[in-house]
Amino acid sequence: MKSKSRFLIIALILLVAGSLAGGWASRMKSRAANTPSAEMKDNELVKAFGEGQRLIEDNYAVDRDQETLTRAAILGMLHVLDPHSSFFDRRAFNEMQEEQSSRFYGIGVTINRRNSKTCVLGVVKGMPAERVGLKYGDIIVEIDGKPTKGWSQQEVLNHVRGERGTEVEIAVERVGEPVPLKFRIVRDEVPYPSVRNHFIVRPGMGYIALTNGFNKKTSEELQDAIIELKKQGMTSLILDLRRNPGGLLKQAIEVSELFLPRSIDVVSVRGREGSRARSQVYKSENSDPESMPLVVMINQETASASEIVAGAIQDKDRGIIVGEDSFGKGLVQTVFPLPGGTGLTLTTAKYYTPSGRSIQRDYSGGSMYEYYWARRSAEHSAAPTPTPETNTVYTPTGRKLHGGGGITPDIVVKEGTENVVIRDACFEFARYLAAGMFPNLEGYKVSKFEFGYRLRGNEFVITDEVMAAFRNFLQEHADLGMTEASLATHSDYARRRIRAELITAAYGIEAEDQFLLESDPQAIQAIEAIPKAKQLTSMARLFDTSLDRH
């Protein structure tokens, strides 16, 4: 009973300390706009945690894994506060810090689930996976002698990643090989850039995919991409923030500054009244921002720091927002390093767009599942669902905007639906096609991989002969679950997917993204919105130096 009493006291101390510190934090699904906090190591919260951890170790009767016990106890308490509060064990905390540093330790491979198997989709140039010969279409069947059947994608990643200089043995099934191939690979530092891709999508029109979060080098990477595209003739830009989970607040401000003139508000951060967190308004300090027409793409996975950027651009009429409502994460986290290499992130403030809009979506009364995973209504309305902080504002040109439920696009376009069964069947077929396994279709064999390739439009055109081979393949592989009727209904989609897979096999995921963008309904609308963006920027007179800015 004495131990239980001590545990309850510890729980109360942690809960109160968390509440005093702001009490809100980030989960990996939707990373926070984080502010690093090395000086927080000696504060009351960390001391309380250390004392609680020692009491548990000294008094708990059952032999249990310390980290598991600690994580379960703290998460239970933090979730009382809000859905973003979280505790990170050593692995998760280390991975978060690595990603914010724009690197991690692994082998440099892109994997995904296809047909309930873990498949290699690509490798990073110069990284260990490329050096030993892993390639598109390989199926990972063992890691360090352990079968991967039934493993999730995250479980595979956890085993592939590790300390720099350590070895991992990976066995793969490869088309044309009678037995699995085994590779011993030494882990190394792998880059994790924020800017995943950039290219000219139309004459004079650039496209930049800023989709991998906001880390310490994000604004630098974005500037480099802009410079390179301007050398290729870019005069307007589509910035893709879809599926960007957020990251560092400072980087969100610096990215916004690239497009907003000096003295223009970017974001305001407000701590709770009476708390230690300071309230502050961040303004652009850029005296020479980019003035080209700008369109920003967002979707329901655009969160936190990326919403800061989209909100600033929209509030100041700097560009047109295209896509779907963003996630709705308006919280700023402070990172608390804890004993044993673990960590805690707590919300110490909320952020607001320049016009004073709160982006945070309502989470009162709902479950964690509903908040993170349940999709909102497919029907979009002109205003978000009312929340405690719903407010209506007007932009400098008189456009009406709403707050309290994420960023609502200026032009709403639903994402195209991906048919997973057809996609996976096309992947399996493309593995054999790229390996040259079909008579009379040897021209589709991928003999070598080419990094940095930019599509010309004539690569791997899918003929009727290829589709006939695909039909026969489906008949021989009924386990793929794709019927003749389904192929007849989705023939165009299947052609596009087979071609995309071959492009991936030959030129990489970046080239595949470039190809698929041509049939992306949101991207098509973004391209068409460039003239509107130009007109909007002109009306807003953001770059008129004769105006007094506030």
Catalytic one among 304, 326, 355, 358? 304
d(CA 264, CA 284): 5
* Known catalytic residue at 329: yes
**296 pairs with which residues across the strands?**
239, 321
Residues constituting the chain: 550
* Exposed / middle / buried, residue 171 (Cβ in 10 Å: 0-12, 13-18, 19+): buried
DSSP 501: H
* Known catalytic residue at 138: no
Angle 499-505-511 (CA atoms, 0-180°, nearest 5)? 70
Catalytic one among 315, 317, 325, 513? 315
d(CA 63, CA 59): 11
Residue 204, token pair as written in the block: 């004079």
- Per the CB < 8 A criterion, the answer to whether 74 and 48 are in contact is no
Place of tokens 């989705």: 490
Please list, residue by residue across 398-424, b when 16 or more beta carbons sit within 10 angstroms of its beta carbon and e when fewer do. eeebbbbbbbbbbbbbeeeeebeebbb
Single-letter code of the amino acid located at 216 = K
Single-letter code of the amino acid located at 314 = Q
Catalytic one among 250, 316, 329, 534? 329
**412 pairs with which residues across the strands?**
323
CA terminus-to-terminus distance, the chain: 62
Query: In whole angstroms, how far apart are CA 304 and each of 202, 247, 307, 348?
Result: 30, 7, 5, 14
* Known catalytic residue at 152: no
Helix (H) or strand (E) segment spanning residue 111: strand 109-114
Residues forming the active site: 304, 315, 329
